[in-house]
Amino acid sequence: MTTPAPTPEAITGADTETERFAPGYMAPRPVCLSLDGPAAGGALLIPTPEAREVFLHALHAPTIWHNAPYDLCCALAWWGCSRAVVGALESDLIGDTWVIQRLAIIGGLAKWTDLSLDVLHAYHGLGELPKDPEVRLNYGALLDRPLEDYTSAQIAYARDDATAVRKLYGRQHKWLTREGGIAWSDVCALTRKRVWLEACRCWGLRTDGAKLADLQRAVEKHIGTLRAQAQVPALLEDEPDNTPDPSLVRACGTGNKIRQQALVAAAYLAPRPLPLPGRPLKERVAAAVPLVPPSILTTKPRQAKDASPRKKHWHPSIKTTRSVLEESGDERLVAFAEYGSWSSLESTLPHYAAGATAPISTHWGVADSTRTTSSNPQVQNLGTDNGIRECFVPRRGHCFVSVDHGGLENATLAQFGIWYLRDRSFADFVNAGKDLHTLVASRIFGCTYAEGVELKERKHPGFSLARDAAKPIDFGAPGGAGWRRLKISAKQLQGLDWTEQQAKTYRQAWADAVPVGAKMHDWVGHCEQTDGRFTVPIPGTSIIRRNVTFCSACNNSFQSLGAVIEGVVGWEMFKERLLCLDSPLARCAMVNYVHDEFIFEVPLDIVDASAKRLETLMHAIPRRVMPDVILSSKAEAMSYWSKSARRIVLNDKLRVWPLLCARCKAPHDTPGKVCACGINGEYLSDVEAYGY
């Protein structure tokens, strides 16, 4: 049963002021609690230590916070209130105005804006909310001090925040009651997801300073190679081959920003073409700005109250950030994002290097698909070849244990087929544990799936080529990519030079092999608005996404459901760690989350027990959201984060990769091989190898 949204008259606005946070101290001690609402009898400010008891009492009734995860994680860290907080979150008693606003933007109910409390306060016509840094940053000295020691400015600032949050909720409440608006259950679910992400942020990640120094030297060399690749012509579909300066990076090494913006605009306008064909590219991009989604446009910079007027009138422009490039669906932009990440890596390495002395904490955000984003510094889309992952190391006496849902998007597409298309064929295929690349390759090669499996095992050269051809199709076609885009993707990402006819044939092979995908595209086509954009639901929720492109709508069918599933899985892991003291997870901490992968820091003496428990949760929890398709995971234990890590089981127990030879300490990926020193299958224990 869906919980109705509390009325503005029945909800209590809440906020805490804390000591200053700092690296390694991202959940500082709460200093005071402010409340405003009928349960509080008006606006109240409660100092410590009384604040804890009032906080616990307030959790029995609906409360609204702004950026609740920060306040709740501070309370969890210092106030011994795990069961009360978890109970309130699971009872849908805690809402978040940040989340409500973000869902309104996703649903096309509000324009994109900064999500800080003072900006939203003004955005909703509630006037200016003063944020004096001299007051905001100096509550630490008031810890455990009586209210008489507070200045009038400190009392007013804290009370005003709780009042502002409650008033803001009053303006947002219309979205929670209108048909096609926002469901309170979705607000609470996304709040829970942001809580465990905030806990992950608080724990932070550590890095190896020596490895980062080596990487710094290697980055400069590799950027030159990628720059040459980024100088390949990147033409629009209606541009002639002799167009001057058509690459994404010029010969001098500078980025061709206007061409990047043009490709982004074309991708997000698809299937409509970029306006003004034949005109200069700059004019075409300017004409596209009013047509593209607001989420890919820059927002007006915040300006100090007393700042002098701007010399030039500000105009929005098309973003070329990594997340925008990667979500564009244009494989040229996706590939260019790698070059951009390497180019920016050199300047961001100092941020990662700080992890050698104190934990680094990323800032988690929410994309329009409700997938997570990571920034300042980003720890999610680090690439597999640049070596930055290998610089992340666990704390002493620990290792990393990683669990991921391989084939998540195939599973969610299969569930979408059952829910929306009444088609179980792909679900049966996925549940049988069959391989999509082999299926599509069999169509391309002209054989049955069973014959394809046999040819794959025999490593038949012709079938191997067909399977290579299937991969870019399998990754791009579900998201609505046509043959032209797939042809470019195959060339840039895998070096496959297809003819036009080959690209069309391979694209059709996917449609024939996976009929639920073609049906999904037709279903999305019926969701078109009058302006050529699309309105689609996020499966597994009541959230409606409006004003999206065709490709975004197609990706939404399976990517968004994956984000919903992993949000529930992450919450259950977090909850067990807090509440089940006899669980091995009680001694572990989640340190990172990468779309379908959870990475924990685990003590070396409970590696196997922790891994088995995580595997159980990764199998069982998704069925609560996606009942018809099976997901599972096999854990890997690593002495450092790496895509090269291998799952190693020795004597029926998971071991930390790599194993170290008992005599010479040489690393081994596979147990049982004779070491160069002559020892066969003798290794140090995990504690002996990595327990320093």
Q: Which residues of 60-69 are buried (b: 16+ CB within 10 A; e: fewer)?
A: ebbbbbbbbb
Classify residue 136 as exposed, middle or buried by CB count within 10 Å of its CB (0-12, 13-18, 19+): middle
Helix (H, G, I), strand (E, B) or coil at 167: helix
Residues 79-100, mean pLDDT to the nearest whole number: 97
Q: Which residues of 40-49 are buried (b: 16+ CB within 10 A; e: fewer)?
A: beebbbbbbe
Query: Is the per-residue pLDDT at 692 higher than 80?
Result: no
Sequence-separated (6 or more) residues with CB below 8 Å from residue 164: 13, 66, 117, 121, 126, 129
pLDDT digits (tens, 9 = 90+) for 644-678: 999 999 999 999 999 999 999 999 988 888 888 88
Sequence-separated (6 or more) residues with CB below 8 Å from residue 308: none
Q: Which token pair is 511?
A: 């449609």
Helix (H, G, I), strand (E, B) or coil at 598: strand
Strand pairing class (597-603; 589-594): antiparallel
Calculate the average pLDDT of the chain.
91
**What is the spatial distance between Cα 336 and Cα 321, in angstroms, rounded to a whole number?**
11
Q: Which has more pLDDT, 162 or 132?
A: 162
**What is the spatial distance between Cα 45 and Cα 32, in angstroms, rounded to a whole number?**
7
Q: What's residue 330's pLDDT?
A: 79
Q: CA–CA distance from 151 to each of 148, 160, 520, 653 (Å)?
A: 8, 14, 61, 60
Query: Is the per-residue pLDDT at 383 higher than 80?
Result: no
Residues 600-604, mean pLDDT to the nearest whole number: 97
Q: Write the DSSP string, 375-441.
A: ESS--S---SSSSSGGGEEPPTTEEEEEEE-TTHHHHHHHHHHHHHH---HHHHHHHTT--HHHHHH
Backbone angles phi, psi at 284, to 5 degrees: -65, -40
Query: Is the per-residue pLDDT at 1 higher than 60?
Result: no
pLDDT digits (tens, 9 = 90+) for 291-327: 998 878 987 776 655 566 777 788 899 999 877 887 7
Query: Is the per-residue pLDDT at 334 higher than 90?
Result: no
Is the distance from CB of 103 to CB of 189 less than 8 angstroms?
Answer: no
The most confident of the ranges 59-73, 311-325, 327-341, 544-558 is: 59-73
Identity of the amino acid at 545: R
Strand pairing class (636-638; 653-657): parallel
Q: CA–CA distance from 290 to each of 275, 286, 317, 329 (Å)?
A: 11, 8, 10, 20
Token pair 């009680």 in the structure block, residue: 586
pLDDT bin (cut points 50, 70, 90) of residue 532 is confident
Q: What's residue 345's pLDDT?
A: 72
**What is the spatial distance between Cα 504 and Cα 486, in angstroms, rounded to a whole number?**
9
Query: Is the per-residue pLDDT at 570 higher than 70?
Result: yes
Sequence-separated (6 or more) residues with CB below 8 Å from residue 410: 426, 430, 436, 558
**What is the spatial distance between Cα 145 and Cα 49, in angstroms, rounded to a whole number?**
8
Q: CA–CA distance from 190 to each of 103, 489, 523, 542 (Å)?
A: 9, 34, 27, 12
Q: What's residue 492's pLDDT?
A: 66
Is the distance from CB of 691 to CB of 604 less than 8 angstroms?
Answer: yes
Q: Fill in the DSSP letter of residue 35.
A: E
Q: What's residue 400's pLDDT?
A: 98
What percentage of the chain reaches a pLDDT higher than 90?
69
**What is the spatial distance between Cα 630 and Cα 431, in angstroms, rounded to a whole number?**
6
Residues 94-118, mean pLDDT to the nearest whole number: 95
Query: Is the per-residue pLDDT at 233 higher than 90?
Result: no
Q: Write the DSSP string, 233-264.
A: B---TTS-TT-SS-BSB-TTS-B-HHHHHHHH
Helix (H, G, I), strand (E, B) or coil at 603: strand
Q: What's residue 676's pLDDT?
A: 87
Is the distance from CB of 96 to CB of 68 less than 8 angstroms?
Answer: yes
Backbone angles phi, psi at 682, to 5 degrees: -115, 120
Is the distance from CB of 668 to CB of 660 less than 8 angstroms?
Answer: yes
Q: What's residue 302's pLDDT?
A: 62
Is the distance from CB of 411 to CB of 405 less than 8 angstroms?
Answer: yes
pLDDT bin (cut points 50, 70, 90) of residue 681 is confident
Q: What's residue 467's pLDDT?
A: 93
pLDDT digits (tens, 9 = 90+) for 486-518: 887 787 667 788 888 999 999 999 999 999 999
pLDDT digits (tens, 9 = 90+) for 441-491: 999 999 999 999 999 999 999 999 999 999 999 999 999 988 888 887 787
**What is the spatial distance between Cα 177 and Cα 11, in angstroms, rounded to a whole number?**
15
Q: What's residue 262's pLDDT?
A: 93
Backbone angles phi, psi at 671, to 5 degrees: -70, 150
Out of 244-248, 278-282, 506-510, which region has the weakest mean confidence (pLDDT)? Answer: 244-248
Classify residue 609 as exposed, middle or buried by CB count within 10 Å of its CB (0-12, 13-18, 19+): middle
**What is the spatial distance between Cα 541 and Cα 545, in angstroms, rounded to a whole number?**
11
**What is the spatial distance between Cα 489 and Cα 663, in angstroms, rounded to a whole number?**
48
**What is the spatial distance between Cα 361 and Cα 350, in angstroms, rounded to a whole number?**
14
Q: What's residue 561's pLDDT?
A: 97
Q: What's residue 109's pLDDT?
A: 95
**What is the spatial distance between Cα 127 and Cα 164, in angstroms, rounded to a whole number?**
10
Q: Which token pair is 343?
A: 């180019």
Query: Is the per-residue pLDDT at 229 higher than 80?
Result: no
**What is the spatial distance between Cα 334 and Cα 327, in angstroms, rounded to a whole number?**
8
pLDDT bin (cut points 50, 70, 90) of residue 132 is confident
Sequence-separated (6 or more) residues with CB below 8 Å from residue 448: 442
Nearest to 633 by CA among 650, 651, 654, 611: 611
Q: What's residue 513's pLDDT?
A: 94
Question: The pTM is what?
Answer: 0.84
What percentage of the chain reaches a pLDDT higher than 70?
97
Q: Which token pair is 599?
A: 């990475």
